[in-house]
Amino acid sequence: MSVDAFTTAADLRAAFRRGLSRPTAGLAPGAVQANLIAVPRDWAFEMLLFAQRNPRACPVLDVTEPGDPATVLAPGADLRADLPLYRVWRGGTLHRETPDATTEWRDDLVAFLIGCSFTFEGGLAAAGIEVRHIAAGSNVPMYLTGRECRSAGRLRGNLVVSMRPIAADRVADAVRISGRFPAVHGAPVHVGDPSGLGIRDLGRPDFGDPVEVRAGEVPVFWACGVTPQAAIMASGVPFAITHAPGHMFVTDVPDREYET
C-alpha cells in the first residue's frame, strides 16, 4: 500500500505490521506519535523514575503491563509489530534492527510510550513555519549532547535533542507553539549555538539525517525521546526493545489531547 499524508493512524500501523518500514515524520497529521522503550520488569522502576526525573526528554504517555503489547493510546494495536522499525539491544549495545519485534518480545518486558516532538510539527506547519526534514522527505536530525540527565538508580545517560532550523523571526512563534505541548517535549531546551550543547557538527547528527540550515535561520533544539536509548547504551541495560529513531508508534490520540 502507498502511504501519504492522508493515510490514517490505523491504516499506517497495519501497513507497518505488514512490513512497510519508513520514518513517520509528517504521516497521519493530527495523530500523536510516540517513542517506544521496553525494558525488563527488573529495570522498569528505574526507567519510570528516569522519565520522572527528566520530564522534558521523557514525557510518559503510557506504560504497559509486563509482557502485554497493548496500550490505551491505540486500542487493538500490537506494540511488537505496529512500528515501522525496531532496535533490539543486548548489554547496552545495538544488537539488530528489525521491522517486527514479535519473536524478540519477552513476557517480562514493560513498554514505555514517550511523547514525540513530531506531534507539534503540525502546529508549526499550520503557522507557516517550514519543518525542514518533512519538506526534504528525510528523518529529523538528532544529536547526543554533553548534558547529563538526572540519573535513576542504575540508569544514567546524556540528553538527546532533535533540531529544526527556524527563521530568526519565527523562533518566538516556534517556542510559543511547541510550548503549548508540554507532554510531547514542549518548548525548546536550547536555541542557537550548537556548541553550548556540546554538538560539534550539525552536519553529522548522531541519529536521523542532516538537514540544511539556511542563511537567516537559527538551529532550535528540542529534548528528544531517543534519550532513553542513550541511557540504555550508557548504563548497559541487559535487554531492551525500542523504536528506531524517527520511526515512531503512531497512536489514535489526537494532538489536541496534549495541548494545554
Q: What residues line the site for its own copies (CB under 8 A)?
A: 41, 44-45, 48-49, 52-53, 60, 63, 65, 153, 182, 260
Considering the complex, state which of residue 48 and residue 57 has its C-beta at the smaller distance from its own copies.
48
Q: How far is the CB of 201 from its own copies (least distance, A)?
A: 35
Considering the complex, state which of residue 32 and residue 244 has its C-beta at the smaller distance from its own copies.
32
C-alpha–C-alpha distance, residues 129 and 125, integer Å: 5
Q: How far is the CB of 178 from its own copies (least distance, A)?
A: 14
Q: How far is the CB of 159 from its own copies (least distance, A)?
A: 18
225, 161 contact by CB (below 8 A): no
Which residues make Cβ contacts (< 8 Å) with residue 30, sequence separation at least 6? Answer: 122, 254, 255
Considering the complex, state which of residue 51 and residue 163 has its C-beta at the smaller distance from its own copies.
51
Q: How far is the CB of 45 from its own copies (least distance, A)?
A: 4
123, 131 contact by CB (below 8 A): no
Considering the complex, state which of residue 35 and residue 139 has its C-beta at the smaller distance from its own copies.
35
Q: How far is the CB of 191 from its own copies (least distance, A)?
A: 20
C-alpha–C-alpha distance, residues 177 and 202, integer Å: 24
205, 72 contact by CB (below 8 A): no
Bridge partners, residue 166, by sequence? 218
Considering the complex, state which of residue 10 and residue 63 has its C-beta at the smaller distance from its own copies.
63
Residue 103 DSSP SS3: coil
